[in-house]
A and B are shown apart, each in its own frame.
Chain A
């Protein structure tokens, strides 16, 4: 036992000795737990590095301060309690750190993240640092609203069940006038899509002001709805330079009868929470485009894994989140994507190291978030998409709808027929993973748009190595 007088003598002391390392610590049910991947500088002991992360992300500074003695400082110190080498990657370690609940303000992602990913990511003794996963205690979760609408209520409002939803992003992303833009929306919705989407960088530019876009898009939505007898929607992007402007745009979307609005991740966590509260209050579905995330989620050595961002966004209260396609043009290892989809849709997520899930997570009744698969996917991959991504997902075929050789309506129809055909076959007990291409080919015999889609994109695949992969491989259990 160190004497207090020695412990608090002015000077520098290893973080581990300051109380930020405790190998015997057993996390409480109410602790926030984080798993970091740490890459210490050469010669830095991993345990000291883990303790430093715990210290810098909670109460510590670089030197001893006597003012600690005015507080219940043991209570507030985060505790690193476990350090494991990363399998197969020398020099990297998974460190587990527990944070007392009193460190955090209720209902504030900003406060949570200011600690967990605050100063600590620039800390010199580490070459790199990555937040891999977090366990959010039920006690803390219960202070958050969660998704404004949630998967179940969204489906009931839209009256669409039993199949993934279908969407597309209007292309070209930039440059269309409001009137031309609405044309794309109408064609795609009438052809069979449930949703069309603004892209992340469509806000209010010289070529198209936001009010114009909203007015034409709602004409398209309502016209398509009357033409098909289905509820349709267009994600009106309300992203703007200030929250006040976003409220104004959201109010206008509501006045026009839109069922859904959209925001970008780059607006920041507090703005997202504000918009989620607005959406809950105004019966609006809230779509989140994860613009910007690739800057910090993709590299395995440094940053924040997307599964953590997904957890924060479910707490913050969005209804839709782009979460990967596996087969499309954007980053996505199948196992890692499965893990992220679980974070979005589970009531209870079980620890699964192969999928990058380091902790059991009880979601405490928080509503579920609809994952969105978007980016370089087409009708010919329908069997793979359903097999990988399941049913509660929005499949977005932008180019695959608008670039169809027979036109946008035909493109939408091709996707919808491929989708319904595949769901029907799966329900009938067919082995869609293996028979998928044949099932699509058979449907293409009576559906010319599907035939054309299959012919156009038959050879398109994006087979590149994923950078963000899980570090644990399945091991055979001895019999």
Chain B
């Protein structure tokens, strides 16, 4: 399967040049870029690991790209995403977030159904990848 989180997951993987253009757009809006990675893409895993703090003072797309590539190199088997943070009053949140690296094989999720009272079912989603201990996923 292919996890379709992020702004551009239905498109072919973005090339480095295309990633650069999105970063450039975000910087032009005044947003700060942060890079994050994870070995657990559960839809409600909101806190991926940060590749350093958001780069508030780095306003140059090429410079940001260096960090994106470095993170991707260090975590080539994991999910890596680029986030853009907007500090404008009334937003103060993520404004753009797209995946720039993903494992070759994405095992996806188990949907666990627990039958409770009546016809009700309680659903739990579990990342297959997390069945292996941290550091040994996607090997």
Q: In the assembled complex, how far is the CB of residue B109 from the closest CB belonging to chain A, in whole angstroms?
A: 4
- Interface residue from A159, A223, A347, A429 paired with B25 (Cβ < 8 Å): A429
CA gap between A73 and B57 in the complex, in Å: 60
Interface string of B14-36 (1 = CB under 8 A from A): 00001001100100000000000
The 6 tightest CB contacts between A and B, nearest first, are A229-B3, A162-B96, A162-B7, A226-B111, A222-B123, A427-B25
* Residues of chain B lying within 8 A (CB to CB) of residue A417: 10-11
A156 lies within 8 A of B93 (CB): yes
Indicate if A413 sits at the interface (CB-CB under 8 A): yes
The distance in angstroms between the C-alpha atoms of A161 and B85, with both chains bound, is 10
Task: Enumerate A150-206 residues with CB–CB distance to B below 8 Å.
Answer: 152, 155-156, 159, 161-163, 192
Residues of chain B within 8 A of A283, CB atoms compared: none
Stretch at the interface among A37-45, A307-315, A418-426: A418-426
- Does A249 lie at the interface of the complex (its beta carbon under 8 Å from any beta carbon of B)? no
B94 sits at the interface (CB 8 A): yes
Task: Give the residues from 109 to 126 in chain B that come closer than 8 angstroms, CB to CB, to chain A.
Answer: 109-111, 119-123, 125
Is the C-beta of A368 less than 8 angstroms from some C-beta in chain B?
yes
Instruction: Determine the distance from Cα of A191 to Cα of B22 in the docked complex, in whole angstroms.
Output: 25
* B contacts with A, residue count (CB < 8 A): 41
Distance of B30 from chain A, by nearest CB (Å): 14
Residue B97 interfacial (CB < 8 Å): yes
B44 at the interface (CB under 8 A from A): yes
Q: Do A226 and B25 form a contact, CB below 8 Å, given A161-B7, A421-B11?
A: no
Q: Is the CB of A161 within 8 A of B95?
A: yes
Report 17 cross-chain contacts, Cβ distance below 8 Å, ordered by A residue: A152-B92, A155-B93, A162-B97, A192-B10, A226-B110, A227-B1, A228-B1, A229-B41, A229-B109, A256-B120, A257-B123, A416-B10, A420-B7, A424-B11, A424-B18, A427-B96, A428-B22
Interface residues of A in 364-381 (CB under 8 A from B): 368
Considering only CB atoms, which chain B residue lies closest to A215 in the complex? B119
Among residues 436 to 467 in chain A, which have CB atoms less than 8 Å away from a CB atom of chain B?
Answer: 443, 446
B123 contacts across to A, CB distance below 8 A: 218, 222, 257
Q: For residue B33, give the distance in angstroms from its CB to the closest CB of chain A.
A: 13
Whether A223 and B111, one on each chain, are in contact in the complex, defined by CB atoms closer than 8 angstroms, is yes
| Cα-based distance from A257 to B111 in the complex (angstroms) | 14
A319 to chain B, nearest CB (A): 15
Residues of chain A within 8 A (CB-CB) of B97 are 159, 161-162
- Residues of A within 8 Å of B44, CB to CB, are 159, 231
Give the CA-CA distance A443 to B8 in the complex, in Å. 13
Q: With a CB–CB cut-off of 8 A, which chain A residues contact B121? A: 215, 218-219
Interface residues on A, range: 35 or more
A225 on the B face (CB < 8 A): yes
With A226-B125, A227-B108, A420-B8 already in contact, the answer to whether A255 and B96 are too (CB < 8 A) is: no
With the chains together, A413 CA to B2 CA distance in Å?
A: 13
Confirm or deny: A230 has a beta carbon within 8 angstroms of a beta carbon on chain B: yes
Once the chains bind, are A231 and B43 in contact (CB under 8 Å)?
yes
Give the nearest-CB partner of B83 in chain A. A161
**Bound CA span A255–B11, Å:** 35
Q: Is the CB of A159 within 8 A of B10?
A: no
Known contacts: A159-B5, A229-B4, A429-B25. The answer to whether A420 contacts B108 by CB under 8 A is: no
On chain B, the residues within 8 Å of A222 by CB distance are 111, 123, 125
CA A256 to CA B121, docked complex, whole Å: 8
Chain A contacts of B110 at CB under 8 A? 226
B5 / chain A contacts, CB cutoff of 8 Å: 159, 229-230
Residues of B within 8 A of A428 (CB): 18, 21-22, 25
Residue of B nearest to A428 (CB): B21
Q: A159-B44, A161-B97, A429-B21 are in contact. List 12 more A-B contacts (CB 8 A).
A: A155-B94, A156-B93, A159-B97, A161-B7, A162-B96, A162-B97, A226-B109, A420-B11, A421-B11, A428-B21, A428-B22, A443-B11
Contacts of B37 in A (CB 8 A): none
Inter-chain CA distance A368–B97, complex, in Å, is: 21
Complex: chain B residue closest to A229, CB-CB: B3
CA distance A421 to B91 in the complex (A): 24
When chains A and B are docked, how far (Å) is the Cα of A155 from the Cα of B8? 16
Q: Is B89 part of the binding interface, using a Cβ–Cβ cutoff of 8 Å?
A: yes
* Closest-CB distance, B56 to chain A (whole angstroms): 18
The residues of A that contact B43 with a CB separation of less than 8 Å are 159, 225, 229-231
Contact A152-B25, Cβ < 8 Å, known A417-B10, A423-B7: no
Q: Give chain A nearest CB distance to B3 CB in angstroms.
A: 4
Which residue of the partner chain A has the closest CB to B96?
A162
